[in-house]
Amino acid sequence: MIFTILAMTGLTILCYVGGKWLYSRFPYPFLLPLVTSTVLLLMVLYVADIQYNDYLDGAGWLESLIGIAVVALAYPLYKQLPILKKYSLPLLVGTAVGSIVGVISTLILSSLFGFNEEIIVSLLPKSVTTAVALDLAEAFGGQTSLTAILVTVAGITGTVLYPYCCKLFRIHHVVGRGVGVGSASHAIGTAKALEYSELEGAISTVAMTLCALMVSVIIPISIFLWF
């Protein structure tokens, strides 16, 4: 057991370090360490014929660090508190719109594709941080394993497309950028926002937190009215 933990944890860290090195050489959104390290890790597991459950037995404890990482985001939040107070109204309105659009669009599109209720409920919390998303999915009868995958996919795709969308729609203000990525891509997007500036990361942190609170209220109401 100890060997499995050391081997799988070491493999995960090694893949991430490799992805980080690649991103330092070629800083393109599609080469984010989370993306490249995930692909590299999957390739190693496939080639070595390592079952996912075996990998999870060894490296699953790393999931517990997510909470610590999210709490650590409070530091830039505290440092930028005066600026955040100044933009409190745009933050609230922007996050509210993002939360509502995220849930309603998911309901409409998933229904159009003919997904059953269980799958739809699993899809709804995809844009909020993992801990909240899993609790919401479990509370309303969704598949938590599917939700976990969708949260990761939403975070990665949103983070990758984030700079391109800002450029395409000419979103240059730090509040607009931070609210957008925080509402859509939670902690993964916030980590990317911190690369641009501490203020943008702080705004994204607020948006991520507000989005989690708002979606926790919107999803039960939406499920009750929709089904």
Read off the pTM.
Answer: 0.84
The answer to whether residue 21 scores a pLDDT higher than 90 is yes
Residue range 95-101: mean pLDDT, rounded: 93
Same domain, 49 and 138: no
Please state, as a whole number, how many other Cβ atoms lie within 10 Å of the Cβ of residue 50.
17
Q: How many CA atoms lie within 13 A of 114 on its CB side?
A: 0
Same domain, 87 and 187: yes
Pick the closest to residue 204 from 164, 158, 167, 168 (CA basis).
158
**Residue 104 pLDDT grade (very low, low, confident, very high; cuts 50, 70, 90):** very high
Same domain, 52 and 82: no
How many domains is the chain built from? Answer: 2
Same domain, 192 and 114: yes
* Residue that is last in its domain, among 18, 49, 66: 66
Its domain, for residue 26, covers 2-66
Same domain, 52 and 96: no
Give 55-93 pLDDT, tens digit per residue: 888 888 887 777 777 677 677 778 778 878 889 999 999
Residue range 179-198: mean pLDDT, rounded: 89
Same domain, 59 and 88: no
Same domain, 105 and 164: yes
* Residue that is last in its domain, among 32, 51, 66: 66
Q: What is the pLDDT of residue 121?
A: 93
Task: Tell me which amino acid residue 223 is.
Answer: I
* Residue that is last in its domain, among 18, 47, 66: 66
Average of per-residue pLDDT values in the chain: 88
Same domain, 140 and 198: yes
Tokens of 151: 């949260």
- For the chain, the DSSP string reads -HHHHHHHHHHHHHHHHHHHHHHHHS--GGG-HHHHHHHHHHHHHHHTT--HHHHHHHHGGGGGHHHHHHHHTHHHHHHTHHHHHHTHHHHHHHHHHHHHHHHHHHHHHHHHTT--HHHHHHHGGGGS-HHHHHHHHHHTT--HHHHHHHHHHHHHHHHHHHHHHHHHTT--SHHHHHHHHHHHHHHHHHHHHHHH-HHHHHHHHHHHHHHHHHHHHHHHHHHHHH-
Same domain, 208 and 171: yes
Residue range 196-218: mean pLDDT, rounded: 90
Using CA of residue 200, residue 206, residue 209, residue 214, what is the dihedral sign?
negative
Q: Please state, in angstroms and rounded to a whole number, the distance separating the CA atoms of residues 118 and 151.
A: 16
Same domain, 117 and 171: yes
Give 25-37 pLDDT, tens digit per residue: 988 878 888 889 9
Same domain, 96 and 144: yes
Same domain, 18 and 115: no
Residue range 186-193: mean pLDDT, rounded: 87
Contacts of 99 (CB under 8 A, 6+ apart): 127, 183, 210, 211, 214, 215, 218
